[in-house]
Structure 1
Amino acid sequence: MNETVDASPVSDRDAKASVMTGSGSGSEWLARYSSSLMGVFGTPQRVLVRGAGCLVWDADGKEYLDLLGGIAVNALGHANPFVTSVISSQLATLGHVSNFFTSPTQIALAEKLLALTDAPAGSKVFFTNSGTEANEAAFKLARRNTGGSGAKRTKIIALEGAFHGRTMGALALTAKEAYREPFEPLPAGVVHIPFGDVEALKDAVDETVAAVFLEPIQGEAGVRPLPSGYLRAARELTARVGALLILDEVQTGIGRTGKWLASEDAGIMPDAVTLAKGLGGGFPIGALITYGPETSSLLAAGQHGTTFGGNPVATAAALATLHAIESQHVLANAAAVGGHLRAGLSRLPGVTEVRGEGLLIGFDLDADVAPAVVQAGLDAGFIVNSPGPRTIRLAPPLVLTTAQADTFLAAFPAILQAAKDAQ
């Protein structure tokens, strides 16, 4: 006998209002936050309640131009109508199936990513929920590489300044001591070498190395692109000794630099690439792409897994995001507006250096006031980030307009002065 759950006597409208949590001022919400959530992020800067495109509003009704995009996540901005409609339709059809089954959206997204990244025959995709999970999968992939000799390799090379995530394997790859020290001992075998130094790379890469992990542009270190020719040198060195070259494009991929992958211009094929952040347009999803049949067979059945990774809703969100990026010429916009923004920043007093590609931008200031700039920016209606005492990072939605960029350029001198006055 089939049974159904009785509908609640509360109307759908009342139930939805209850689930959406109601209203309150920013200070009221922050008081509730501090009494209910772990303090690992410190005190949130604002309580955001609504977004549209590149704009967001807080609980007190103040409007902000979002120049951080959820840390390079909201590729199409907030509440994109097409992505929202696809997610809603998928949720109304099939939400979750576990890894005992698959779905059309999971298969279609894997095929799409292999096509967009020019992966050769025999390449594969493993879906995760985040960038750190994608890098964790890549870490395990590296542990399986013997370089063809059959002898186990445990040495992995990463760079000083690297950030690959906060789970234990990804944290071992991350260089920042403040992140690492509280959780040591971390998985052994990771060696950090100087950033961008080809000679140091040559000295480090030998037949004992399982993999080299690289970010084409280090985001958390202040948006530092690898020097020209470094990726090609890394490919030649790793290929020579049978080590994997694994590129972390969690922050730089999916159009962030005006290209699908920041590494495209290097003219190389890595052994694996990790993606996340912008892939789902705001919905959590990550991916590990392995190139060619040999690398793609390193992880056998049962050696890795995930309950939620690649679920129908996440993969539908990613398919919708990729479709919108292609159909709305978003890559060209990111390249053009990013170039305009970098050029404008380089002309501003108090800005000493501007780095980046597309809409991943870091710029340095002439004083240690970056955290104060973040606060002054919020007061002026702009969301930015400070990865260092003199560095500001911008990673806005890829649909940012030139006019919106110009509002920030016009406001920044006053923001910087307010930050200096507050010190």
Structure 2
Amino acid sequence: MVNSKIKAAEENLLHVYNRFPIAIERGEGMYVYDTEGKKYLDFAAGIGVTGLGYHNQELNDALKEQIDKICHISNLYYHENCGEAAKELNRICGMDRIFFTNSGSEANEGALKAARRYAYTKQNGRYEYIAMENSFHGRSFGSVSVTGHDSYREPFEPVVPGVHFAKFNDLDSVKALVSDKTCAIILEPLQGEGGINLASQDFMEGIRKICDENDILMICDEVQCGMGRTGNYFAWQGFGVKPDIITMAKAIGNGIPVGAFAMTEEVARYSLRAGDHGATYGGNPLSCTAVKKVIEIFEHDHIVDHVNQVAPYLEQRLEELVKELDCAVRRKGTGLMQGVEFNIPVGEIIQKAIAEGLLVIQAQGNVIRLLPPLIMEEKHVDEMIKRLKHALAK
């Protein structure tokens, strides 16, 4: 018998997602429960969103208190939550100016516009972008235009012109595309959708040097790899290579829809002006309450330190899994953003894992992507490995 919740969704929603046949009702810590009461260990975290896990009471209480005050007010007016959230977010991401959006796609859209506006103000005639193969930056027209997968772009051609794709971790391929029309280079320090591909130190440093020498802006998309997931607040900090613009979303709100793009004071000086960009709901009191409280919890619970403590154990257990299984090729990633590449189709493995009470997701290149809540403990790693092995044995 088809679950009534699933049936209602199938009959009324536009079919743009390949949904799994379970209806989630609630969550607690590292676990979610479906409408039939089945418990699942969640190593997907809503695609990297719920860094603090589910039902964090401190966050919930702050949101409930704000709901009783006000959820939305036009950006024509100030409210203290927005300024405080911006101050704290700038502090941890190492930037100077923040613009709040509703999502990661919107954050990347804004960053691309900011780069074009920077070039327009400087009157240098630049308008082209260099992006990376296997990248993913969203599904709006601008963000999909710099996404390095033909399957995402082709149905919507012609997309934004002037985008060229370099090979990730191949500095020579980037250099070959630089011209006097290049306004920005956009990349994920750790590609998520593209297969859990980590940038090399030389590549990050090389991109920074190219940008400095040619008055090109470096944009780091940290929507998925940011907010503690790699063992730093933001992945660029692990390389010591500071971009000009950072985009973020997902875990900065722990489930409340919020994104942002942040920039240096230098970029802000030549970039977006009043009327150039906007977001009706961006930076509203409720989403900024979430950002402010999430950062507060991260700090008093030492979440980033915790990631660095537990990540080596996750890596160790995954390396053991790869050595044990003929179908596993290699482990990829860093921190609590990990992947295992297989030599067999992983779609069926993921379905079997769900049956075993484990939620994982897929990435490009036959990779199972692991994005657990950052509150994960070693016992959860052991449980995940056990359930994944059972799925692989079926």
Pick the TM interval, shorter chain. Answer: over 0.9
Q: Is the 8 A contact 1:217 1:223 kept in 2?
A: yes
Superposed CA deviations along residues 345-397 of structure 1, whole A, max 9, x for unmatched, are 111122221111111111112x3231111111111110001123621001011
Q: 2:352 aligns with which of 359, 376, 395?
A: 376
Q: Is the 8 A contact 1:385 1:393 kept in 2?
A: yes
Match of 2:260 in 1: 287
Structure 1 residue 113, shift from structure 2 partner: 1.3
Give the direction of change, closer, same or farther, for the CA distance of 1:337–1:26 in structure 2 (3 Å limit): farther
Distance 2:94 2:70 in 1: 30
Give the direction of change, closer, same or farther, for the CA distance of 1:221–1:114 in structure 2 (3 Å limit): same
Distance 1:297 1:194 in 2: 30
Q: Is the 8 A contact 1:215 1:248 kept in 2?
A: yes
Q: 2:370 aligns with which of 366, 390, 394?
A: 394
Give the direction of change, closer, same or farther, for the CA distance of 1:296–1:218 in structure 2 (3 Å limit): farther
Q: CA RMSD in A?
A: 1.5
Structure 1 residue 103, shift from structure 2 partner: 1.0
Letter of the 1:158 counterpart: A
- Provide the secondary structure at the position in 2 that maps to 1:265: helix
Give the direction of change, closer, same or farther, for the CA distance of 1:43–1:214 in structure 2 (3 Å limit): closer
**Is 2:254 the partner of 1:278?**
no
Q: 1:358 aligns with which of 335, 341, 359?
A: 335
| Alignment gaps of 5+ in structure 1 | 1-24, 419-423
- Provide the secondary structure at the position in 2 that maps to 1:191: strand
Distance 1:101 1:201 in 2: 43
Letter of the 2:106 counterpart: E
User: Which protein shows a greater Rg?
Assistant: 1
Structure 1 residue 339, shift from structure 2 partner: 1.8
Match of 2:34 in 1: 58
Match of 2:226 in 1: 253
Q: Is the 8 A contact 2:194 2:365 kept in 1?
A: no
Q: Is the 8 A contact 1:337 1:405 kept in 2?
A: no
TM-score (norm 2): 0.96
Structure 1 residue 201, shift from structure 2 partner: 1.4
Match of 1:88 in 2: 64
Match of 1:141 in 2: 114
Give the direction of change, closer, same or farther, for the CA distance of 1:94–1:395 in structure 2 (3 Å limit): same
Identity of aligned residues (%): 32
Q: Is the 8 A contact 1:359 1:396 kept in 2?
A: yes
Letter of the 1:408 counterpart: M
Match of 2:88 in 1: 112
Letter of the 1:224 counterpart: N
Superposed CA deviations along residues 264-318 of structure 1, whole A, max 9, x for unmatched, are 0222221100010100011110011011234454111100001000000001011
Structure 1 residue 26, shift from structure 2 partner: 6.2
Distance 2:54 2:201 in 1: 34
Match of 2:130 in 1: 157
Structure 1 residue 102, shift from structure 2 partner: 2.1
TM-score (norm 1): 0.89
Match of 1:20 in 2: none
Match of 1:77 in 2: 53
- Provide the secondary structure at the position in 2 that maps to 1:145: helix
